[in-house]
A = this chain, B = another copy of it.
């Protein structure tokens, strides 16, 4: 694609030469040199981030987590580059390119999220997580959108059309998992709270991007999309289609590795090459079909970890776990640097400070509606000993910092929306991202201590109840059937279906897709260094 740029730039240069003929071609290798300088700076910032993050962690400075440090490094270097007169050819290498983000940086991060998921706490909280991620994100998007629209109507803030307000609501509802979770890991918190925060922030990215795209297509085809019903159908199509294609690719990979017989000593490289290609295949398949690559790769990650992974040779298992961890760490850190740099370089329209102020207020309200509303629903169905306590709800509410996903979607909205509108949304999102990453990221530790949810997974009373009872979902739906309301019944049925999924998995899926039978799952968990103990989900150190 660089070539494409070069060709287009030549084209532009030739057009410019018709005006000023003294302009000459750049000497050969000049562009490559600029690329070299640009990438060199990026690598240096990456190294600096890793080293700084390590030093900060070692000295237990929790006020500046790694993601915040990376963002600050990007901001500072970007600010310096902005003051100095950097050549525009070098600058090109630093602009945040949404397509680069979506096609190359995001897939490894999301895959690793799915891949490093410790399945037990995740599945035991599956109902709650799905409620928060789907119902909750939808609620938050609509609440934010409506409030921003009302704010515009009442002249409190810059006025945007309703569809654009909903687009803003959708993109700003994508919370970022990286920073908060790394702090949760440092402090060691309740396993269930951790699973909730983790599952919600991962799945809600997928939800937010699907919502955003749906709204964007409504916005661009004003004629066809006005029908609300069609919008919901299209959204469900995207979501279910992506989920199926992701799960399908995962199952195919499991069968391939089960029967190909690649788990012998000297084929390790071939085995790893193929394994590494599958997630990306899943992502691109979904994108190519016009679905959501993120949803697809997330579920491919979960399926591949659960089934395909155990069909690998032991060496390859160790390798691919470390490989995806490495790649996603690099991508995560790079995203924050890249974002910081671009924020410092990009043109912002600060004329609408009111918009920023009120949108921060509104997203706080919308997140409260999401978390406390969904927690109410979840608690309706859970037995007394499994209720989500209020302090966990507060922690979840507080953990909603906005990161790269919101930023990338906002940057895309600059292209999707009319001139001033996109710019306003972009500036507001930028401000929200920087504020939440620095403030929430820096104070999560204090918050966790204040809410008294600090402590190792196995120490707290909830941790115990979880750890001592692996199949605790089964009793929960059995004993609760006597209760009244219809909503409760529905929710319980859903609960029941997740429980029966566990049985399905153990009796049919695991024996079919892997070389082991269902009983040895515990043993298999222990094989993977990554999924053990407090660093279980996505340990960075």
Contact check, A33 vs B288: say whether CB atoms are below 8 A apart: yes
- Indicate whether A446 reaches chain B with its CB closer than 8 angstroms: no
Q: A29-B216, A285-B40 are in contact. Are A8 and B9 (CB under 8 A)?
A: yes
Q: A277-B46, A280-B43 are in contact. Are A5 and B4 (CB under 8 A)?
A: yes
CB-CB under 8 A from A43, the residues of chain B are 277, 280-281, 284
CB-CB under 8 A from A270, the residues of chain B are 50, 54, 541
Within the assembled complex, what's the spacing in Å between the Cα atoms of A178 and B2? Answer: 25
A246: min CB distance to chain B, Å: 14
Which of B217, B273, B280 contacts A27 (CB under 8 A)?
B217
> Which residues of A1-58 are within 8 A (CB) of B?
1-6, 8-12, 25, 27-29, 31-33, 35-37, 39-40, 43-44, 46-47, 50-51, 54
Contact check, A3 vs B274: say whether CB atoms are below 8 A apart: no
Minimum CB distance partner of A92 in chain B: B4
Q: A27-B217, A36-B288, A287-B33 are in contact. Are A323 and B323 (CB under 8 A)?
A: yes
Per-position 1/0 for A523-541, Cβ under 8 A of B: 0000000000001000111
A517: min CB distance to chain B, Å: 28
Contact check, B28 vs A416: say whether CB atoms are below 8 A apart: yes
Which stretch, A70-78, A95-103, A123-131, A490-498, touches the partner chain B?
A95-103
> Which residues of A204-252 are within 8 A (CB) of B?
213, 216-217, 220-221
- Indicate whether A412 reaches chain B with its CB closer than 8 angstroms: yes
Within the assembled complex, what's the spacing in Å between the Cα atoms of A220 and B29? Answer: 11
Minimum CB distance partner of A46 in chain B: B277
Within the assembled complex, what's the spacing in Å between the Cα atoms of A1 and B100? Answer: 7
Contact check, A288 vs B27: say whether CB atoms are below 8 A apart: no
Which of B2, B54, B269, B287 contacts A100 (CB under 8 A)?
B2
A41: min CB distance to chain B, Å: 9
Contact check, B97 vs A269: say whether CB atoms are below 8 A apart: no
Contact check, B326 vs A269: say whether CB atoms are below 8 A apart: yes
Contact check, B220 vs A28: say whether CB atoms are below 8 A apart: yes
Per-position 1/0 for A309-346, Cβ under 8 A of B: 00000000011001101100110000000000000000
- Indicate whether A351 reaches chain B with its CB closer than 8 angstroms: no
Within the assembled complex, what's the spacing in Å between the Cα atoms of A25 and B413? Answer: 14
Minimum CB distance partner of A292 in chain B: B29
- Indicate whether A504 reaches chain B with its CB closer than 8 angstroms: no
CB-CB under 8 A from A51, the residues of chain B are 274
A290: min CB distance to chain B, Å: 5
CB-CB under 8 A from A32, the residues of chain B are 99, 102-103, 287
Minimum CB distance partner of A323 in chain B: B323
Within the assembled complex, what's the spacing in Å between the Cα atoms of A10 and B46? Answer: 32
CB-CB under 8 A from A415, the residues of chain B are 6, 10, 28
A206: min CB distance to chain B, Å: 15
Contact check, B217 vs A99: say whether CB atoms are below 8 A apart: no
Contact check, B97 vs A36: say whether CB atoms are below 8 A apart: no
In the complex, the count of this chain's copies comes to: 2
CB-CB under 8 A from A102, the residues of chain B are 32
CB-CB under 8 A from A46, the residues of chain B are 277
- Indicate whether A304 reaches chain B with its CB closer than 8 angstroms: no
Within the assembled complex, what's the spacing in Å between the Cα atoms of A3 and B96? Answer: 8
Minimum CB distance partner of A2 in chain B: B99
A465: min CB distance to chain B, Å: 28
Contact check, B93 vs A213: say whether CB atoms are below 8 A apart: no
Contact check, A273 vs B50: say whether CB atoms are below 8 A apart: yes
- Indicate whether A80 reaches chain B with its CB closer than 8 angstroms: no
Within the assembled complex, what's the spacing in Å between the Cα atoms of A221 and B30? Answer: 14
Within the assembled complex, what's the spacing in Å between the Cα atoms of A438 and B408? Answer: 45
Within the assembled complex, what's the spacing in Å between the Cα atoms of A29 and B219? Answer: 13
Within the assembled complex, what's the spacing in Å between the Cα atoms of A95 and B46? Answer: 30
Q: Which of A3, A10, A43, A289 has the most CB of B within 10 A?
A: A3
- Indicate whether A64 reaches chain B with its CB closer than 8 angstroms: no
CB-CB under 8 A from A272, the residues of chain B are 322, 326
A171: min CB distance to chain B, Å: 12
Within the assembled complex, what's the spacing in Å between the Cα atoms of A1 and B269? Answer: 31
CB-CB under 8 A from A269, the residues of chain B are 322, 325-326, 329, 539-541
A interface residue numbers (CB < 8 A to B): 1-6, 8-12, 25, 27-29, 31-33, 35-37, 39-40, 43-44, 46-47, 50-51, 54, 92-93, 95-100, 102-103, 213, 216-217, 220-221, 266-270, 272-274, 276-277, 280-281, 283-290, 293, 318-319, 322-323, 325-326, 329-330, 412, 415-416, 535, 539-541
Show 8 residue pairs from A and B whose CB-CB distance is below 8 angstroms, ordered by the A residue.
A6-B99, A32-B103, A37-B288, A43-B284, A46-B277, A50-B274, A266-B535, A276-B326
**3 tightest Cβ-Cβ pairs between the two chains A and B:** A36-B287, A3-B97, A2-B99
